[in-house]
Structure 1
């Protein structure tokens, strides 16, 4: 299998780290949806990262669906099976993914839209949503276990690293100290270092 996309995407990175934790073999192909648009579109015409090219040549889109497929391949899941524990994990994953989406919206607004067309009320709204998502994620952080990484713990760490890479001028570690501390511990692990953010 090939995982297509850049590791500065939290969606690509969460799949890479998860597959590694599950001992699922894959090749990472670093293609940018911007710089490598034509090459990427030849693989997946929607040019969406991540793209997971399966051994039969077909492909999957969306990191959550890739992780579901990975669970089937591995015969185990990084999500807990007990309903209460799974609900706890999903309560963290949901806001983490929302924070990634809102961070990307802010980045695109500043980097792709001409300054005269940027809409401050929209940016204010997206920033408010980002902070709300991070507050929800911060509240779930104490449940993470460095010795037994689950999908919530992985996604939370890649989310915070992505946020800090892109909007550190807006989101400060002091505002989310538990999430920042958790991410520092996770990023020190070999499995995270094998798939560096930059």
Structure 2
């Protein structure tokens, strides 16, 4: 298998963390989705990373799809197969992906010329992120994992999202949510997270 993506995309990082956690054979190929000669559009008509080329030549895209496919290849599963636990894990993943979307939207707006920036976009995205942090903090368990008694896709997705806040929207969210910050530090110490941090990510 071949995974196409960038070092700074949090959506790609989610997949890379899972590949490392499950010790899967998957070649990582750096690809810039914005480059004129990018290999991404022929693989994903939406022109986004990550894109996963399977051994049979088929291509999967969108990080939740890729994560679920790769998770199915090797036990133990990080995403529960059915029941209440599955919906809880998917809800956590949806929260985390929403945070990523908000951080990316805020970043892109902030890079526009000041005269062209929307007065509403950045505050709106920051409010989404703040509410998501409140939710995560309120629903945090007393143990090292967000749910059950082991590391799951919920932990993976949320920790990637929190560290992406540090990377692209650094602010003192830990001062408001110290327990969540401590939880993130614990997950972030796992080798899969350490080895996939993008160049320049601030360490907290």
TM-score range, shorter chain: 0.7 to 0.9
* Residues in 2 aligned to 1:157 and 1:189: alpha-carbon distance in whole angstroms: 11
What is the CA deviation profile of residues 120-143 of structure 1, one whole-angstrom value per residue up to 9, with x for unaligned ones? Answer: 122222221121122222233326
Deviation of 1:157 after TM superposition, in Å, equals: 0.8
Equivalent residues in 2 for 1:98-113, closer than 5 Å? 98-111=98-111, 113=112
1:153-164 equivalence runs, <5 A: 153-164=155-166
Structure 2 stretches of 5 or more lacking a match?
200-204
> How large is the Cα RMSD of the aligned pairs?
2.2
Pairing 1:34-183 to 2, within 5 Å after superposition:
34=34, 36-40=35-39, 41-74=41-74, 76-81=76-81, 83-111=83-111, 113-142=112-141, 144-145=144-145, 148-169=150-171, 172-183=173-184
- 2-side partners of 1:177 and 1:7: how far apart? 28
3-state SS of paired residue (1:129)? helix
Contact in 2 for aligned 1:160/1:179 (Cα 8 Å): no
Aligned to 1:16: 16
The answer for the alignment partner of 2:202 in structure 1 is none
Distance change >3 Å, CA 118–CA 42, structure 1 → 2: same
Q: How many equivalent residue pairs? A: 195
How far did residue 81 of structure 1 move? 4.2
TM-score by length of 2: 0.84
Does the 8 Å contact 2:19/2:70 carry over to 1? yes
Which TM-score applies when normalising by structure 1?
0.86
Give how far 1:22 is off.
2.4
Cα distance in 2, alignment partners of residues 68 and 153 from structure 1: 14
Structure holding more helix per residue: 1
Change in CA separation of 1:121 and 1:19 when aligned onto 2, cut-off 3 Å: same
* Ranges in structure 1 where 5+ consecutive residues have no aligned partner: none
Q: Is the 8 A contact 2:32 2:38 kept in 1?
A: no
Measure, in 1, the Cα distance between the counterparts of 2:179 and 2:86. 21
